[in-house]
Amino acid sequence: MAVQRRAGRTSREDIKFLSNPNIGNNRKKYCRFRKYGIKHIDYKDPDFLLQFINEQGKLLPRRITGNSLKYQRKIATAVKRARHLAMLPYVADLLK
Amino acid sequence: MRQYETTFIVAPALPDGEIKKAVKNYKDLLEKEGCEIVHVDEIGVRQLAYPIKKNNTGIYYTIEYKTETGEVIDKLELAFRRDERILRFLSVKLDKYGIKYNEDKRAGIIDERKNKLAAERAKKREEEEAKNKARKATNNNNRRKKKSASKPKPEPTVEVPADVAKTVEVPADVAKTEPTVEVPADVAKTVEVPADVAKATETVETVDAAVDVAEEVSLDGDILGDLTDSDNKG
Render pLDDT for B144-186 as a digit per residue (tens, 0 to 9). Answer: 776 665 555 555 444 545 454 444 444 445 444 444 445 455 4
Q: For residue B176, is it within any domain?
A: no
User: What b/e sequence results for A5-20 when a residue is b if at least 16 CB atoms lie within 10 Å of its CB, and e otherwise?
Assistant: eeeeeeeeeeeeeeee
Q: What pLDDT score does B213 carry?
A: 46
Q: For residue B175, is it within any domain?
A: no
Specify whether the CB–CB gap between B12 and B65 falls below 8 A.
no
Q: Exposed, middle or buried, B64 (CB in 10 Å: 0-12/13-18/19+)? A: buried
CATH number of the domain residue B39 falls in: 3.30.70.60
User: What b/e sequence results for A67-89 when a residue is b if at least 16 CB atoms lie within 10 Å of its CB, and e otherwise?
Assistant: beeebbebbeebbebbbebbbbb
* Lowest model confidence (mean pLDDT) among A62-76, B21-35, B89-103, B189-203: B189-203
Mean confidence (pLDDT) of chain B: 73
Mean pLDDT of A2-26: 60
Model confidence band, residue B114 (pLDDT cutoffs 50, 70, 90): confident
Of B66 and B70, which is predicted with more confidence? Answer: B66
Q: For residue B139, is it within any domain?
A: no
Model confidence band, residue B201 (pLDDT cutoffs 50, 70, 90): very low
Q: For residue B78, is it within any domain?
A: yes
CB < 8 Å to A44, chain B: 7, 43, 60, 62
Q: For residue B85, is it within any domain?
A: yes
Mean confidence (pLDDT) of chain A: 83
CB < 8 Å to B135, chain A: 21
B175 interfacial to chain A (CB closer than 8 Å): no
Instruction: Give the C-alpha separation, B36 to B65, whole Å.
Output: 5
Q: Outline where DSSP puts E strands in chain B.
A: 2-10, 36-52, 55-67, 86-93
Q: For residue B233, is it within any domain?
A: no
Complex confidence, ipTM = 0.71
Q: Give the chain B residue nearest A47 (alpha carbons).
A: B114
Closest CA–CA distance from residue A86 to any residue of chain B (Å): 5
Model confidence band, residue A5 (pLDDT cutoffs 50, 70, 90): low
Instruction: Using a pLDDT cut of 70, give the percent of chain A over it.
Output: 74
B219 interfacial to chain A (CB closer than 8 Å): no
Q: For residue B26, is it within any domain?
A: yes
Range of the domain at B49: 2-107
Query: Half-sphere exposure (CA, 13 Å, Cβ side) for B210?
Result: 22
Q: For residue B66, is it within any domain?
A: yes
| Inter-chain residue contact A84 with B95, CB threshold 8 Å | no
* Lowest model confidence (mean pLDDT) among A50-64, B111-125, B144-158, B204-218: B204-218
CB < 8 Å to B118, chain A: none
pLDDT at B229 over 90: no
Domain count, chain B: 1
Q: Which pTM does this prediction carry?
A: 0.59
